[in-house]
Amino acid sequence: MTELGQLEDQWQEFEKRKVQIVAISVEDRDNARVTQTEYPHLLVVYDDDKKLSETLDVLHPNSAPDGGDTAAPTTILVDSQGVVRWLFRPDRFLTRLQPSEVLEAIDQKMPRE
């Protein structure tokens, strides 16, 4: 996956900043295992019942290939106290943040405590 692969490639930069990437999707456990193996430095979280995504309101209704709901690509920075520091959602789902943009956001919105 382009997005996760790019984040995985930059794992040392995230580690330097003591930042853990949590990759969340509505895939099932079997797929999540595969994803975790492919991207060992990311923490892969699956949400096959969509409860987490509904709680945080990050679903894009009727946009999955089968007509169901799937994730609206969203990036949320959370500091070590569990406080949200930044939320980014592109206006179109083809757009993704580049890892350099995520790192820049971390340095700007969430400077080290």
Q: Which residues bind other proteins (CB under 8 A)?
A: 1-7, 14, 17-26, 29, 31-33, 35-36, 43-48, 51-53, 55-58, 60-61, 64, 70-87, 89-96, 98, 102, 106, 110
Q: How far is the CB of 92 from other proteins (least distance, A)?
A: 5
Q: Residue holding tokens 């679903």? A: 59
What is the enclosing helix (H) or strand (E) of 6? Answer: helix 2-9
Report the residue number, 12 or 87, with the smaller CB distance to other proteins: 87
CB-nearer residue toward other proteins: 12 or 51: 51
Contact (CB, 8 A) for 61 and 70: no
Q: CA 73 → CA 13, 22, 43, distances in Å?
A: 22, 13, 17
**Closest distance to other proteins from the beta carbon of 65 (Å):** 9
Distance in Å, CB of 67 to other proteins, minimum: 13
Work out how close the CB of 81 gets to other proteins at its nearest, in angstroms, rounded to a whole number: 6
Q: What residues contact 18, with CB distance under 8 A and at least 6 apart?
A: 112
